[in-house]
Amino acid sequence: MSGGQAGPEALDAAMTAAWIRHAAELVAADAERLTRLDAAIGDGDHGLNLNRGFTAAVAALPAEPDPPGRTLITAGRALVSKTGGASGPLYGTALRRAGKAFGSEAEVDAALLGRALRAAVDGVQELGQAAEGDKTMVDALAPAAAAYETGLEAGGDLATCVRAAAEAAEKGAEATVPMTARKGRASYLGARSAGHLDPGAASTVLILRALADVVGEAAG
């Protein structure tokens, strides 16, 4: 690690690039399940599209890691350009908003990461016009940001807060199963959308789990 902060206290350039790469690995490994989830209430291409987008995001990363903010903006742009459907703009917006919140910092401490997660939620909600309870990725992302903030207020370190965020995202995703979709393709099904896990919430869990894994590994 570089600078005065190290390990779980800060997210540096190498860790941020590792987050994107690990997210791509988790998405690739789970692409078939994501596609099955989407086939039940959507277009049936979420896993395929997101896998293609994250593959492009990894390919866009330079050999020598950029600062964290630039890394997320680069990955976000790749997701927008290479991911089909609504997923590309939504995930791309989330990463780009987070990257802009990071600014030019070489290392991102726990407080700044919390602000970036909140910026990601705001960006997704502005673009998709979705709220919690609409059965979308917001149902995983918003609870994750809130849990992170709660952990931070309680004095938690980076690893603790990120782990809390990932766990909250998973619970939020599971909570979409009984919901009736009010946004996106699934909303066309009305009551028939109930009983299915939202694919966007499921993939959001993977991305936050990837972050928790990378930070946890750095924490030892």
Q: Is the pLDDT of residue 86 over 60?
A: yes
Beta carbons of 152 and 114 less than 8 angstroms apart? yes
Residue with tokens 């919690």: 132
pLDDT at 192: 76
Residue with tokens 């039940």: 40
Q: Is the pLDDT of residue 7 over 70?
A: no
pLDDT at 131: 93
pLDDT at 2: 35
* Mean pLDDT across 86-91: 91
pLDDT at 199: 95
| Residue type at position 122 | D
Q: Which of 9-23, 59-73, 117-131, 185-199 is predicted least confidently? A: 185-199
Beta carbons of 91 and 58 less than 8 angstroms apart? no
Q: Is the pLDDT of residue 126 over 60?
A: yes
Q: List, in order, residues 6 or more apart from 206 with CB less than 8 Å away.
A: 23, 26, 27, 30
DSSP class of residue 184?
Answer: S
DSSP class of residue 67?
Answer: P
Dump the DSSP string for 103-147.
TT-SEEEHHHHHHHHHHHHHHHHHHH---TTSSSTHHHHHHHHHH
Q: Is the pLDDT of residue 65 over 60?
A: yes
Beta carbons of 93 and 76 less than 8 angstroms apart? yes
Q: Which two tokens stand for residue 54?
A: 């994250």
What whole-number distance in Å separates Cα of residue 118 and Cα of residue 187?
26
**Binning pLDDT at 50, 70 and 90, where does residue 8 land?**
low
pLDDT digits (tens, 9 = 90+) for 127-182: 999 999 999 999 999 999 999 999 999 999 999 999 999 999 999 999 999 998 88
| Residue type at position 16 | T
Phi and psi dihedrals of 109, rounded to 5?
Answer: -80, 180
Phi and psi dihedrals of 182, rounded to 5?
Answer: -115, -5
List the beta strands (DSSP E) in 8-164.
10-12, 107-109
